[in-house]
Structure 1
Amino acid sequence: MKNTGLRQTVLAFICLLAISGSLSAQTKVIDLWNGKIPGAIQNDQFKQMVDTAAGWVDKTAITNPCLYYYPAPEAKATGTAVIICPGGAYWGLAIKHEGEQVAKWLNSFGVTAFVLKYRLPDDRIMENKSIGPMQDGQRAIRVVRSRAKEWGINPAKIGIMGFSAGGHLASTISTHFNEKVYEPVDSTSARPDFSILIYPVISMESGITHWGSRENLIGKNPSPERVKHFSNELQVDSVTPPAFMVHSMDDGAVSVQNSVGYAMALKQFKVPCELHLYQSGGHGYGMGRSNNTESTWPEACYRWLKSNGFGTAGEL
């Protein structure tokens, strides 16, 4: 019996190692902060937890944010790069179907991809949970831009992409890139050159927001000033980067008003924007999961990238 129990324990440990490594087995992992995370609170109860069956990284996993690096094939490389922010209501990360699969799709036409495993807001590990994800997003842009030559990337062709709550983070980086939420090591810009927002949370305003994302990021009873600050449709200006956006009219989780409001704000400031509203699809479909029209968004995005000068090679 003792040997059986020991064998089971060893097997369980091996499985845990396999799960933990599965996300990075085929790619390089880049530590964002090299152990110097701003505003971090040490909490030894937070351990790595990964559910590969569901494609989720649990919220307790992320005390050491990183980038998973997916270089474009050399023969196709265009010099464009995209940093991908998976969704998960600022509670978890759908890192498989809104991260890894997307990165491989981008690679297929010459775009280098980085999947951002960002910290999820939690008072137990952050001095200010509302800016934790923004710190990681800004840092990710600066890391990629500062190492662009090393990775064969054009520093003027670095975009950010987000799904659901990851779309809120991507739009936050697009509208708050000049906000000083940590002390940068140099003057490298944190402004993305474009954004790709897929069924994104944009607003924290009542009647529009996704309540779980709002509560996780800014708390149950945020001040009106904080609600406005993190309602990114209200933070757009003339230097906000161009956007490609996707939403389904029947999205029961994140109202289509999030995308419409952001697109109209971009229009007001004459910032290029392309918004695709689909009849159906619901929420959380990643690259697509049906034969309906919402699953055609990757082709539309490919064409948008190409027509806006972000360079593509090969075919979808």
Structure 2
Amino acid sequence: MRFFHHLLGLALAGATCAVSIPAVAQDARMVPMAAPAEPGAIALNTGGVAGSTAPEAWFSQYGVAMTRNVSSATLTPFLPDPAKATGAAVIVAPGGGFLMLSMENEGWRVAKAFAARGIAAFVLKYRLKPTPGPMPQFEQAVTEMFASAGRPDSRLKPEDAVAGLSNQIADARAAFALVRSRAAQWHVDPTRIGMIGFSAGAMTTMAVALSAPDTKPAFIAPIYGSMEAVKVPADAPPMFAVLASDDPLFAHKGFGLIDSWQQADRPVEFHLYEHGGHGFGLGKAGTTSTGWFEAMMRWLDTNGLLAKR
């Protein structure tokens, strides 16, 4: 459990680093906000969170909407125009250190970008660790967690975190099952459903790939997640990974994850950008990190995942 708490601290920095938004909106304060409408959100009915007492709460940070104390998982579809639909689909897992979710920057915006390219996208609002209800206490908890994040001597193996991510894995399993059960309705090919995650969402994505083979993702895309080596399953899905070389958490610990996929002779593509930091979503303005999404589209296309069937 101690290790898992440290994992939370590492991933949490994704919620406290600058995101790709105009400079005028760079406001690190956590400002409470009314819960936004989530049209089409579908309850996954995977249960609650032990010890959770505070209700789900929304706030704005760096000008984007975030939520915490999620105790009931949901999946929100972002479907492409049927005329453009490729049949491919992706489950999107936002980051936030398992204490919060960057729903706007790493969820809705990303899903809309996929849908615009003919890929059905589904934002997974997965269950989180309980946090104090009052905002001042929550901010203090975040500060304390962030203080130990990104230490040079810290080591983080996604496969070691699996036991601590049972709720998130269960939520992802339910998400895959739901999309496949409605594949005809949503014009989705059940064999071409992948998963992408950011920071803590990248860790969730890796945990699913390593420990939930029943989900059978067609591809995975960990975006600025841990680069620690893992034991790769024989049938591991193709992987598209992204990291910035100035990421304060994961850029200076080697690229064991990429090596693991190569040594297992599984398909992998890795993009290391010079600048971008951590938490850049679709890309940090003024850096080449803005190119990762288009690169992923080319990768999906060349692997036959976007061909209409």
> Shared fold (TM-score greater than 0.5)?
yes
User: Which consecutive residues of structure 2, in runs of 5 or more, have no partner in the other structure?
Assistant: 1-31, 133-162
The amino acid of 1:288's aligned partner reads G
Q: In the alignment, which of 287, 292, 298 is matched to residue 292 of structure 1?
A: 287
Q: Is residue 168 from structure 1 mapped to residue 203 from structure 2 by the alignment?
A: yes
Residue pair 1:81, 1:157 contacting (<8 A) in 2 also: yes
Correspondences of 1:36-47 after superposition (within 5 Å) = 37=47, 40-41=49-50, 43=52, 45-47=53-55
SS at 1:74 equivalent: coil
How far 1:97 sits from its partner (Å)? 0.8
Q: Please name the residue that 1:216 is paired with.
A: none
Q: Please name the residue that 2:238 is paired with.
A: 242
Q: Please name the residue that 2:249 is paired with.
A: 253
Q: Is residue 104 from structure 1 mapped to residue 112 from structure 2 by the alignment?
A: yes
Q: In the alignment, which of 280, 283, 291 is matched to residue 278 of structure 2?
A: 283
Q: Please name the residue that 1:152 is paired with.
A: 187
- From the superposition, tell whether residues 312 and 101 of structure 1 become closer, same or farther in structure 2 (CA, over 3 Å): farther
Q: Please name the residue that 1:3 is paired with.
A: none
SS at 1:20 equivalent: coil
How far 1:122 sits from its partner (Å)? 4.6
Q: In the alignment, which of 16, 30, 41 is matched to residue 29 of structure 1?
A: 41
> Partners in 2 of 1:176 and 1:242 — Cα distance?
16
> Partners in 2 of 1:135 and 1:202 — Cα distance?
23
The structure whose RCO (Cα within 8 Å, separation 6+) is larger is 2
Q: Is residue 201 from structure 1 mapped to residue 214 from structure 2 by the alignment?
A: no
Q: Please name the residue that 2:165 is paired with.
A: 130
Q: Please name the residue that 1:78 is paired with.
A: 86
Q: Which has the larger radius of gyration?
A: 1
- Calculate the aligned-residue CA RMSD, in Å: 2.3
Residue pair 2:243, 2:273 contacting (<8 A) in 1 also: yes
SS at 2:236 equivalent: coil
Aligned residues: 246
How far 1:202 sits from its partner (Å)? 5.2
How far 1:250 sits from its partner (Å)? 1.0
Residue pair 1:198, 1:247 contacting (<8 A) in 2 also: yes
The amino acid of 2:294's aligned partner reads E
- From the superposition, tell whether residues 170 and 256 of structure 1 become closer, same or farther in structure 2 (CA, over 3 Å): farther
Write the deviation string for residues 181-230 of structure 1: whole angstroms up to 9, x where unpaired.
Answer: xxxxxxxx312110111111354xxxxxxxxxxxxxxxxxxxxxxxxxxx
Residue pair 1:89, 1:164 contacting (<8 A) in 2 also: yes
Residue pair 1:46, 1:63 contacting (<8 A) in 2 also: no
Write the deviation string for residues 114-149 of structure 1: whole angstroms up to 9, x where unpaired.
Answer: 00000113599xxx8531111111221122122212
How far 1:21 sits from its partner (Å)? 3.1
Q: Give the TM-score normalised by structure 1.
A: 0.72
Residue pair 2:273, 2:288 contacting (<8 A) in 1 also: yes
> Partners in 2 of 1:40 and 1:99 — Cα distance?
22
How far 1:295 sits from its partner (Å)? 1.2
The amino acid of 1:264's aligned partner reads D
Residue pair 1:79, 1:112 contacting (<8 A) in 2 also: yes
How far 1:254 sits from its partner (Å)? 2.9
Residue pair 1:19, 1:52 contacting (<8 A) in 2 also: no
Q: Please name the residue that 1:55 is paired with.
A: 64
Identity of aligned residues (%): 32
